[in-house]
Amino acid sequence: MEARAIYELLAEKIGDGALGFTEGTGDPVADVAPASIVDACTFLRDDERCDFDMMMCLSGIDWDGYDENGKGKSVSILGYTDLGEPETTERASDGDFGVAYDLYSHRLKHKFTLRVRVTREVASVPTVSGVWETANWHEREAWDLLGIRFAGHPDLRRMLLDESWVGHPLRKDYQMPSEWDAVRLSGRDYAKNPFPPIAPPETPTPPAGDKPAEG
């Protein structure tokens, strides 16, 4: 079924919860209010005409800095200064968070994308892990990396990072901590100079141009 037809079915079901349908560059996407996402997902899974038995992907998004005019670029990755101190950002963080759900039906072989958008202050979306089991881990990952809470999630712990980690790295205003658990986190840049001088190495000849390796 076409995405637009699915959206119309969905809008019929959840009423005000359906916020709009966009077609343009990329996949067609249906915006849904956070409050009705579980209803929407349950409907899409159980309805005969939709039958979305699999959630392909759940992606958390930090929309901060994303501007419809293409002006607000994504911030460049924050790393370390020459002295190994974490760089800081002056960004004001006021963008929304979003979650995109990509669904697929094995029987009807059609796809559909849902999207919810919540403000940075709220940062909480109802969980759909009761609808598809796979959402469990995807949501944990989104919580871990983006700090989006999933209300009602059975096991919302950090997944890829340690429980004691501070911050959510995929946020656009994330600042790398300088140490974690008494471990200094800055990378060692051997080519820069704060390192103590070393004795001359044992003649490491730089690689020659096209000296063939002999067999």
Question: How many other C-beta atoms lie within 10 A of the C-beta of residue 182?
Answer: 5
Binding of residue 60 to other proteins (CB under 8 A):
yes
Look up residue 70 and give its DSSP letter.
Answer: S
Question: How many other C-beta atoms lie within 10 A of the C-beta of residue 18?
Answer: 20
Q: Select the residue interacting with other proteins from 82, 121, 181, 202 (CB under 8 A).
A: 202
Binding of residue 212 to other proteins (CB under 8 A):
yes
Q: Find the shortest distance in angstroms from Cβ 167 to other proteins.
A: 11
Residues from 122 through 151 that contact other proteins (CB under 8 A): 132-134, 136-137, 141, 145
Angle at which helices 3-14 and 37-46 pack, to 10 degrees? 120
Cα–Cα distance for residue pair 206/215, rounded to 1 Å: 21
Stretch that binds other proteins, among 13-21, 33-41, 84-92, 162-170 (CB under 8 A): 162-170
Cα–Cα distance for residue pair 32/91, rounded to 1 Å: 28
Binding of residue 170 to other proteins (CB under 8 A):
yes
Q: How many whole angstroms from its chain centre is CA 185?
A: 23
Residues binding other proteins (CB under 8 A) = 24-27, 29, 53-57, 59-62, 66, 68, 70, 72-77, 100, 102, 106, 109, 111, 113, 132-134, 136-137, 141, 145, 158-162, 169-170, 172, 174, 189-192, 195, 198, 200-215
